[in-house]
Amino acid sequence: MDVGGGRKAYDDINITPMLDLAYVLLVIFILMATASVQGIKVDLPKASSAKSLVQPKTVAITVNNQGQIFLDAFPVTLSDLETRLRNAKAQNPDVPIVLKGDQTAQYGKITEVLDLCRQLDLNKVGLVTGKPTAS
Q: What is the mean pLDDT of residues 92-116?
A: 82
pLDDT of residue 104: 76
pLDDT of residue 81: 86
The residue among 112, 37, 53 whose CA lies nearest residue 79 is 112
Q: How confident is the model at residue 135 (pLDDT cuts 50, 70, 90)?
A: low
CA triple 106-108-110, angle to 5 deg: 80
**CA distance linking residue 40 with residue 119, whole number of Å:** 46
Q: Which CATH number fits domain 59-127: 3.40.50.300, 3.40.1280.10, 3.30.420.270, 3.40.190.10?
A: 3.30.420.270
With residue 54 as reference, give the H or E element that holds it.
Answer: none
pLDDT, one tens digit per residue, over 22-79 is: 999 999 888 877 765 554 455 555 665 555 555 567 888 888 878 888 888 788 888 8
pLDDT of residue 6: 63
**CA distance linking residue 93 with residue 97, whole number of Å:** 12
Which residues have CB under 8 Å from 73's CB, separation 6+? 60, 62
In the chain, domain spans: 12-36, 59-127
**CA distance linking residue 21 with residue 107, whole number of Å:** 75
